Structure 1
Amino acid sequence: MATKVILGDILFDPAPRQKLKFNNPRVIAKLDIPGAPPVNQDMGEDETTLAWDGILVGADAYRKAIQIESLKDAGQVIQLIVTGFPELCKKVRIRSFPWDLVRQDRVEYSIELVAEIPPPVVSQVITTYAAAPSDDVEQASSPAPSGNTYVVKEGDTLWDLAVQRCGDGTRWREIADANGIMDPTTLQIGQEIVIPF
């Protein structure tokens, strides 16, 4: 059975030439931390794109090209169906649609679609509150922790200390601020610093 490509109510017949290009990259951010090696952070999926080249043929070829151009200009979300490939069936927008009018009954084109990112699923959070303490129960109040002291060892960086102490290297600035460190590359072996968390 031949694959059919349908965009909204437009059937691409004949189907796209040779191949359908699918791209679903991830965004990787490089964090350059003073005094530490660079860290690559996975930021998640980037936009998914689908693209192909083809020919519209038949008495309605020019009308189809104008219809697709109108959908692109409107920025409408359209359902894409690729028979036999359910993972490619997505709600999309048309990013680009360059086309060449060869004749009234023949239009050569390229098309690039961007898949809509579904909205995040938000689950309901149920919060329970403890009953207020009775007056006859004495409440102990503890002062907020002021932090722990740490003696810098060879190879330590503020980034590594933030990772070790709170699991997040991007909080290195809090350690620097708590100790009045202006240049994080100036840590000295044996220097005593306060870790505020």
Structure 2
Amino acid sequence: MALKKAMIIIDKGKGKKETVDVLFNPNEYTLTSGNQYRWKKIPGLSYPIGQFISGESSTLSMDMFFDTYEKGTDVRNFTKKIVGLLDIEKELHAPPVCQFVWGSLNFKGVVEKVTSKFTMFLESGIPVRATLNVTFKSWYTKKEQLQHIPRHSADRTKQRMLNQGEELWMIAAEEYDDPGKWREIARANGIDNPRKLQGGRKITVPRLE
């Protein structure tokens, strides 16, 4: 069975979509994912304490091959469709979000970088063979991300003891899955300077509305 052609589906805005077929399927592609952590050194401990901050955008990178030598036409007529994904779409006021679809792979993102290498030319100087190194970066709205991340926020007021070296952002991350909510804890406990806290203090963890 013939291998299905890869394609790029482009969101043009206002419900409009455009499909660009890749001239030749890539020989390989690379998917990269990662997380961002904050590391805090605690006196007396052998290793720093890690706190998850957020995930990082995944990237999809590959080489796309284009060849129009037999037809004798300008290969840039094909490559410009890929390079053009870096341009601002007038309906969106930003480069378009697109999907790279090939078999079971469906990667949604924006084109972050394209490097064009032209390797064959007609006598007139017109390029007829090119390789594009393309990097897509994942792109999801806040709503889309929250739909895929199960979170459990504190649904009742709690009290806990502050450990030596522990900070409010650590408690917020543990209780709310959001280190940025440390201000809610500071407000509930009348804490003006969260950097000057003594271990052993009783802390109220308020219920989030």
1:25 deviates by: 1.2
Is the alpha carbon distance of 1:45 and 1:183 closer, same or farther for their aligned partners in structure 2, counting shifts above 3 Å?
closer
Is the alpha carbon distance of 1:160 and 1:29 closer, same or farther for their aligned partners in structure 2, counting shifts above 3 Å?
closer
Equivalent-residue separation in structure 2 for 1:30 and 1:100 (angstroms): 41
**For each residue in 1:55-80, what CA deviation from the matched residue of structure 2 results, as whole angstroms up to 9, or x when unmatched?**
11124631121222222122111122
User: Which structure has more strand as a fraction of its residues?
Assistant: 2
Which SS does the other structure have where 2:57 is aligned?
coil
Q: Where does structure 2 lack aligned partners over 5 or more consecutive residues?
A: 10-18, 89-94, 122-126, 148-158, 205-209
1:159 to 152, 166, 169: 166
| Runs ≥4 residues deviating over 4 A | 33-37, 160-163, 166-175, 180-185
Residue in structure 2 matched with residue 22 of structure 1 by the alignment: 31
Which SS does the other structure have where 1:105 is aligned?
strand
1:173 deviates by: 8.2
Equivalent-residue separation in structure 1 for 2:131 and 2:62 (angstroms): 11
Residue in structure 2 matched with residue 90 of structure 1 by the alignment: 107
Residue in structure 1 matched with residue 84 of structure 2 by the alignment: 70
Paired positions, count: 155
Match runs of 1:31-70 below 5 Å: 31-32=40-41, 38-58=48-68, 59=73, 61-70=75-84
1:110 deviates by: 0.3
2:116 to 82, 99, 105: 99
1:160 deviates by: 8.5
Q: Which has the larger radius of gyration?
A: 1
Contact conserved, 1:47 with 1:117, CA < 8 A, in 2? Answer: no
User: Normalising by the residue count of structure 1, what TM-score does the alignment of the two structures yield?
Assistant: 0.59
Residue in structure 2 matched with residue 137 of structure 1 by the alignment: none
Report the identity percentage.
14
- CA RMSD of the aligned region, Å? 4.1
Which SS does the other structure have where 2:80 is aligned?
helix
1:10 deviates by: 2.0
Match runs of 1:135-150 below 5 Å: none
* Matching residue's letter, 1:16: P
Contact conserved, 2:167 with 2:194, CA < 8 A, in 1? Answer: no
